[in-house]
Amino acid sequence: MLYNYKIMGENELIFKKEKIKLFQSQGIYDYPCAWLKERRSIAEVRNNFNESQEVVIAGRLMAKRLHGKALFWDIKDFSGKLQVYVKEDQIGKELFNMVKDFDIGDIALFRGQLFKTRTQELTLNAKGAYLLSKSLRPLPEKWHGLRDIEIRYRQRYLDIISNEKVKEIFLMRTKMIKHIRSFLDNLGFIEVETPMMHPIPGGARGRPFKTYHNEYGLELYLRIAPELYLKRLLVAGFEKVYELNRNFRNEGISTKHSPEFTMLEVYSAYSDYRDMMDLTKNLILHLAHTLLGTEKLNYQSKIVDLSKWQEVSFAKLVKENYDINPEDDLDTWIDKLRKKNIAVGDNLSRSFIINLISELVEPASDNPVFVTDLFTVFCPLAKRKKDNPYLSERFELFIAGLEIANAYSELNDPIEQRRRFEEEIKDLPKEERKEIDEDFLLSLEYGMPPAGGLGIGIDRLAMVFLDQPSIKDVIIFPLLKP
């Protein structure tokens, strides 16, 4: 009999393909199956258990236990797992042999009555069976799961099938985004969508990905940030807007960086960076209470206490550690850093400054730290402080050494904004220079209300909340080198 035939390797693949023909000839394989309309989720069946009730369930076969003329299958759908009891004298010898020849990984449907075994395990007593999809490849070994990190990222579908914890990570991430939306909606914010293809990359520093529109004959860029479009909406009179957006930066990859990532950007008219600080704190506390039921997070052997928030001055930190002053030019920065044996090139990139902040802040605390008093020279879109024009009204939020959020009192003076844009690009090498977004400057000339703007890295926030060491662990299909 075919169901007793055991061959491994490539021959097994051929053998399983032959099984499909057999099942088709017996009328128990191929879509559609009329019973599917009666299918209920396993969670629904469990939650509404009624002895002897007849139900239809479907899912992936995960384990088989054979006992002579009876067998048990464990079947799993998205909502849970259920045991199925199949007995030869109840479904007939021919169908029993077919069901016995199903393989782990197959997707099957069973119709039958519910009962509880002597050990009180809820079970379906099968009266009928149907094969919906044949698995030609073996699933990862049950007890050890999928451990090769490279395969886990490349074949995430297998990772989720074999590891319930991985599924829970992505379900929790989905819930996090849902609660972020709910939180902001309840505060009167409006969710909007802005373009992902930009004629001029802007809103942040970063190397963009290029693309091309054939119909317009136009070179475009995948967005590095939605900021300039969201500010146009402030001009238009949308006073409270947010976007959960995908951004793209053609830069390095690490445990903290992905070329494609998710950001929350929030803009509120008649607000400033201090209001954004309160919003950030309240949002993160709301997520902790709602998702985890606690203000204490475990992240990579660290305890992050969300009841303890600090504020530190970047200007004070660099003065104490490197004798750098807010009025120092970049050449002076570089000279003073080198005297402290800090490896630095001829230019200071944003990533270098962020790493420098992280190194200065990380020893202070694993708990949330708002870093304020960032130098205006690094903040082309933020307002200056009135009492010190060399410092900006801006903060960076770090949790457990990770940069999580960034916020400004948004610059709304079109004349000053133009001067900043021109200053930003004048010393760049020709190949790195970008055009000034004249349409954005034009919009500012019509008047943008004073506003606070906030960006939160959703992937990194998920890393902290879900205790994951790499950004790839919270991105369901991360980009990988071929």
Q: Which of 226, 196, 192, 193 is nearest to 209 (CA)?
A: 196
pLDDT digit string, tens, across residues 22-35: 888 888 887 667 88
H or E, element range at 129: strand 122-133
CA distance 346 to 441: 30
Strand runs (DSSP E) across 68-121, as ranges? 70-77, 80-87, 107-116
Q: Please say whether the dihedral angle defined by the alpha carbons of residues 231, 232, 238 and 243, taken in this order, is positive or negative.
A: negative
Predicted confidence (pLDDT) per residue in 270-290, tens digit: 999 999 999 999 999 999 999
Q: Indicate whether this model's pTM tops 0.85.
A: yes
* Average pLDDT of the chain, as a whole number: 91
- Rounded mean pLDDT of 449-478? 97
In contact, 374 and 394? CB cutoff 8 Å: yes
Identify the residue whose tokens are 């008219």. 269
- 268 in Cβ contact with 275 (< 8 Å): yes
pLDDT tens per residue, range 210-230 = 999 999 999 999 999 999 999
Beta strands in 149-259 (DSSP E): 190-191, 197-198, 210-213, 218-222, 240-248
Rounded to a whole number of angstroms, the distance between the first and last alpha carbons of the chain is: 43
Would you place residue 363 in the very low, low, confident or very high pLDDT band (cuts 50, 70, 90)? Answer: low
pLDDT band at 13; cut points 50, 70, 90? confident
Distant-in-sequence, close-in-space partners of 209: CB < 8 Å, separation ≥ 6: 221, 222, 248, 249, 250, 259
**CB-based contact 461:267 (threshold 8 Å):** no
User: Among residues 206, 244, 242, 240, which one has the least CA distance to residue 223?
Assistant: 206
Whether the predicted pLDDT of 323 surpasses 80 = yes
Alpha carbons 454 and 452: distance in angstroms, whole number: 7
DSSP string, 395-436: EEEEETTEEEEEEEEB---HHHHHHHHHHHHHTS-GGG----
Q: Which residues contact 412 (CB under 8 A, 6 or more apart)?
A: 383, 444, 447, 448, 449, 450, 451
Q: Which residues sit opposite 54 in a β-bridge?
A: 113
- 370: which residues sit within 8 A by CB, 6+ positions away? 277, 309, 310, 311, 312, 395, 396, 397
In the chain, the amino acid numbered 312 is V
Rounded Cα distance between 99 and 121, Å, is: 21
Determine what percent of the chain is predicted with pLDDT higher than 90.
70
Question: Is residue 340 very low, low, confident or very high in pLDDT (cuts 50, 70, 90)?
Answer: confident
- Return the C-alpha torsion angle 388, 389, 394, 397, nearest 10: -60
Q: How far apart are CA 434 and CA 440, in angstroms?
A: 14
Phi, psi at residue 324, to the nearest 5°?
A: -95, 135
pLDDT of residue 403: 92
Q: How many CB atoms lie within 10 A of CB 404?
A: 21
* CA–CA gap between residue 390 and residue 410 (Å, rounded): 16
d(CA 333, CA 423): 18
> Looking at residue 350, what is its pLDDT?
65
Domains, the chain, ordered by start: 2-133 (2.40.50.140), 160-473 (3.30.930.10)
Distance CA 336, CA 349 (A): 16
User: Quick one: pLDDT band at residue 364, thresholds 50, 70, 90?
Assistant: low
**Residue 349 tokens, joined:** 């990139």
